[in-house]
Amino acid sequence: MTTPAIETIGLTKQYGGLASSVALRGRSRSSGVRALEDLAIDVRQGEIFGFLGPNGAGKSTAIRLLLGFLHPTAGRASVLGFDTVHDSVEIRRRVGYLPGGIAFWDNLTGERLLDELAGLSGRPPVRRSALLDRLELSAATLRRPVRDYSRGMRQKLGIIQALQHDPELAILDEPSEGLDPLMQRAFYGILDELRREGRTIFFSSHVLSEVERVCDRVAIIRLGRLVALEEVPALLARRKRNVEIRLGGPPPALAGVPGVSEVETGDGRLSCRLEGDVGPFLAAIAGSVIHDMTIEPARLEEAFLEFYETDLDAAPPAAAPPSPAKVPA
């Protein structure tokens, strides 16, 4: 069995309180802000793992715990088999990190900055030239001071500094922020290439379409709690698709057809929601006169919103999320 790239067990982070000491005294009351609670995930080597949640959900806190910037209040985590509290230097030797809203030493040129960061990493920048080509950062651009760079160019520089030394694991916080659509596509290509070469990517985002496009598995986090962790295709397969049919005759009888719900008819139209296998639905409409039919594909956004639209108080803690999510995978 291979070591997980990332493994967290009951990882909890509370800011500004005395949770530990209060707990030791056997009191239930705790002060401070609980940014992360009982996070239990495992990221497999060689996969692209999406970490989804809106701003303030706890994504950056989790990443900072993994890199040893923060100390857990409870639980533990390991990255590439190294403990995040005791071996954070070893972890950072093997990891490339792109912080959200990255800041640089602006007086340096792009080239000097990349050189200095590679020097600090202690590993040669073996991927730099390929990344520069893919992200279209020219030599002339690199000779300019970073303070003159646009937001998109800074983000490209951030991606390059995180990946130039060919890390075993890349932890990317909102990596496509500020990139134009063409560059986003180039970036996704880079991720695909890294995956083919067996590198692991841990990828936090609130852009659902990109997570859906590039990730193998996704964890959804809400108010510091994990609410879902699943393969992206499996998550999508369970999402309800919207069906719209323009009819040329009487509507088909869809009551009781497996996977079909919310059927509405009238004015020569039929709409419904379709979940799972489409076979029974197609069989049910086979005899009907249909002028047009649209089945809207399942989107991760709907899955995401489903987890966010329910009342938080009704949601169980992260360690025991509601079906259909399975935690940990």
Write out the residues near another protein by the rule CB under 8 A: 15, 60-61, 64, 67, 69-71, 88-90, 92-93, 95, 97, 99-105, 107, 116-117, 119-122, 161
**Sequence-ordered list of residues with C-beta below 8 angstroms from that of 64, at least 6 positions apart, any chain:** 70
DSSP category for residue 17: S
Tokens standing for residue 187: 């970036």
Our CB check for another protein shows the closer of 103 and 182 to be 103
Q: How far apart are CA 43 and CA 2, in angstroms?
A: 11
Q: How far is CA 301 from CA 54, 182, 199, 274, in A?
A: 12, 22, 27, 16
Q: What share of the chain is helix, strand, coil (3-state, %, to 5)?
A: 35, 25, 40
In the β-sheet with 200-205, what is the strand arrangement from edge to edge? 95-98, 169-173, 200-205, 48-52, 217-222, 225-231
Our CB check for another protein shows the closer of 68 and 252 to be 68
CB of 64 to another protein, least distance (A): 7
CB of 4 to another protein, least distance (A): 21
Our CB check for another protein shows the closer of 73 and 176 to be 73
CB of 200 to another protein, least distance (A): 16
Q: How far is CA 81 from CA 67, 78, 200, 203, in A?
A: 13, 6, 14, 19
CB of 198 to another protein, least distance (A): 21
Query: Closest Cα partner for 176 from 156, 162, 157, 190?
Result: 156
Q: How far apart are CA 163 and CA 172, in angstroms?
A: 10
Our CB check for another protein shows the closer of 60 and 200 to be 60
CB of 128 to another protein, least distance (A): 16
Our CB check for another protein shows the closer of 89 and 320 to be 89
Our CB check for another protein shows the closer of 105 and 289 to be 105
Q: How far apart are CA 280 and CA 190, in angstroms?
A: 40
CB of 62 to another protein, least distance (A): 11
Our CB check for another protein shows the closer of 8 and 61 to be 61
Q: How far apart are CA 120 and CA 260, in angstroms?
A: 58
CB of 177 to another protein, least distance (A): 14
